[in-house]
Structure 1
Amino acid sequence: MPVVTYEFGEQRGRLWLARGAQVMRQDTAEMWAERGQIPLTAPEQERLENMYRARRGGQSWSNFARQWQSGMGRGAAVAREALGLDSSLPTVLICTNVVGDSLALDRQIFTQGMSDWLARTVRHLASHSNLQVVVRVHPGELLGAGQPSVDIVRRSLPDFGHRVTVIPPDSDVNTYDLIGLAHLGLVYSSTVGMELAMGGVPVIVCGQTHYREKGFTDDPRSWDAFVRILEQRLGEPAGRRLPPEQVDLARRYAFRFFFEYPFEYPWHLIGFWDDMATRPMESVLRPDLAEPYRRTLRALTGHPVEWAARAEPAEAWA
């Protein structure tokens, strides 16, 4: 039986949907195959940069409802000093998922899950004397879902010492400042992995996520392969960055994911009644239904998606 699943993300006036699949898998393969080879235009690059400038500054932007950063960006040097990090040692940045969140559940590839991956990874890195580790716990843990990542690290390394720094979810340390000082990023399935690559930082992706194997991340399929890639990356010179073509690919993917993958929808689950007051049903469901909503309804009823047709012209962004 044909099935379409859907869910509401962080953007008001948008939803995610999937034909014949779990929507929270965020399968972008079809979109990327059709849109991935098309370079971003100058207006598209500017739009992406404007969004990330707001995210780095802990500010809201456009129709994005969440502000995961509680502190404004102050720069990598300020973050390094505030955390007491050694500028002579490479920094490995681990960004966690919320344990039990739908974007992390059943994403295991070579570990038993996010918590197992985090525990094994910090134990492995703690044996290295020539680096320092920063674990940035997802701010979403403040919502109270799942096992706290701080506890996972403490159980794995009761005496983790000064070379492992754990940043709790309520910290005002800006994640984008940490990206600026990182030599290497490690993620399970966090969106920060994509953002690390956008910043030129090599990132190893260890769980199943939508941006895995898109050409700008390292994607091991076994623990041995993970350790091999990890040691190789750690041995690279300080200050090295991803090649420009991979950074460009990451930025291109981010734009497609944030601005073309979500579907226009007039009423969001959060703030539904406010949306309904702004856009009453009778003003939306008309014979002259707006084309973006028409495309969404076609997709919700199982019709193939024409991804190129979903790309909004720059003049429509306002």
Structure 2
Amino acid sequence: MNKKNKFAHKILQHLENHYHSGKWFNRQNLQINKKIFSKIELKKILGISNDNKICVIFTHIFDDATFFYGKDLFESYEDWLKNIIYKIKELNNINWIIKVHPANMLKSNYSLEEKLLDRIIKIIPNHIKIVRPNTPINTFSFFGSIDYGLTVRGTVGCELACYGIPVITAGNGRYSGEGFTIDPKSKEEFYKYIENLGKIEKLNKHKINLAQVYTYGSLVCRSIKMHGINIKYTPEQFIKNNLIKVPKDQDDLMSKYDISKFISWVKNDIKYDLIELNENEISKNI
């Protein structure tokens, strides 16, 4: 196995392990007690009996920092989802899966996304499936089963691209413009991609490599294990309990690896992000 293949294997293994173990965004425990299904199993669960291509629409929490990362094509995450639904109602050549964001389990038993879906889709067409937050399906099940992904700027966009899955964004920020996603510049361009989705091919090796390098840098190297401040909760505890633990002794706090690393980063006015970086490993794979 050459160096590039080893690097690709490392990031793919990292993603798979975290979804398998339920550690991905584990402070929220969003993948706990969820199962990874094969494509055959997934299609059976969702009631998909044809061989049409599959696209998952990864929704955003409507009030989750909508304008934080950059400029959007649509007025809000709600407006984005609503207009997609209106568009795909008649596009029955694709199996559309609307995956409601799992973090809604922390906020409500009936999310704003679900209220919107139930309001504008009175009778769900056979080519549209809805996956609700309390689904038993682990998100990683989609990585080996789908052909396309839609998100405004969700983390799943760079993850899917690591597996060669084309992702259409609807706003800049984070990984848009890095060369491995489709980033429409207008609503009209966005709709054209949606209407002709089946013609879009899987990502080539170069774009997959760009995605893997970016994802390794942003999700692995920037994930610094917290020792000084501990945050842990379950969906049931989120509202009721304050589970943020900070050492009471200041000297003890300052001695923690993550705190001391952050202080050093600030004091030295370092121009790049706070990361755990093996520079040789990255540079050999760009």
Shorter-normalised TM-score: what interval? 0.7 to 0.9
Count of aligned pairs? 265
Match of 1:121 in 2: 84
Q: Is the 8 A contact 2:229 2:245 kept in 1?
A: no
Once residues 227 and 39 of structure 2 are traced to their aligned partners in structure 1, the CA distance between those partners, rounded to angstroms, is: 40
Gap change, CA 1:41 and 1:259, over 3 Å in 2: farther
Deviation larger for 135-144 or 49-58: 49-58
**Aligned equivalents of 1:122 and 1:92: distance in 2?**
13
CA distance in 1, matches of 2:244, 2:126: 50
Equivalent residues of 1:110, 1:223 under 8 A apart: yes
> Contact (CA 8 Å) 2:27, 2:231: kept in 1 or not?
no
Task: Indicate conservation of the 8 Å contact 1:134/1:164, yes or no.
Answer: yes
Q: Confirm or deny that 1:65 pairs with 2:36.
A: no
* Residue from 240, 243, 248 that aligns with 2:209: 248
Task: Write the mapping of 1:121-200 to structure 2, written as runs, cut at 5 A.
Answer: 121-144=84-107, 147-200=111-164
Which residue does 1:225 correspond to in 2? 189
C-alpha distance after superposition, 1:124-172 (max 9, x if no partner): 0111132221001111011116952122122232223221111110001
Aligned to 2:48, which of 75, 81, 85?
Answer: 85
Deviation for aligned residue 1:108: 5.0
| 2:207 maps to 1:207 | no
Return the offset for 1:56. Answer: 3.2
Q: Does 1:304 align with 2:270?
A: yes
Quickly say closer, same or farther: Cα 1:169–1:303, change in 2 above 3 A.
same
Shift of 1:243: 0.5
| 1:220 Cα offset (Å) | 0.9
Instruction: State the AA in 1 paired with 2:251.
Output: E
Using the alignment, how far apart are the partners of 2:268 and 2:115 within structure 1? 44
TM-superposed deviation, 1:298: 3.7
From 247, 254, 257, the equivalent of 1:276 is 247
- Segments of structure 2 that go 5 or more residues without pairing to the other structure are 233-242, 281-286
Paired with 2:129 and 2:177, the residues of 1 have a C-alpha distance of 29
Aligned mates of 2:141, 2:275 — CA distance in 1? 37
8 Å Cα contact 2:223/2:275 also seen in 1 = no
Aligned to 1:25: none
- Pairwise CA distance, 1:262: 4.5
Shift of residue 113 of structure 1? Answer: 0.7
- Give 3-state SS (helix, strand or coil) of 1:259's partner: helix
Aligned equivalents of 2:262 and 2:43: distance in 1? 46
TM-score after normalising by structure 2:
0.79
Q: TM-score, normalised by structure 1?
A: 0.72
Q: Quote the sequence identity (%).
A: 18
CA distance change for structure 1 residues 49 and 197 in 2, over 3 Å: closer, same or farther? closer
- My pick for the range that moved more, 214-223 or 143-152, is 143-152
Looking at structure 1, the residues matched to 208 and 23 of structure 2 have their Cα atoms a distance apart, in angstroms, of 25
In the alignment, is the contact (CA less than 8 A) between 2:97 and 2:128 conserved in 1? yes
In 1, the alpha carbon distance for the partners of 2:275 and 2:80 equals 40
| 1:51 equivalenced with 2:11 (yes/no) | no
Whether the aligned pair in 2 keeps the contact of 1:80 and 1:87 (CA below 8 Å) is no
Number of the residue aligned with 1:258: 219
What's the secondary structure of 1:208's corresponding residue? coil
Residue pair 1:200, 1:242 contacting (<8 A) in 2 also: yes
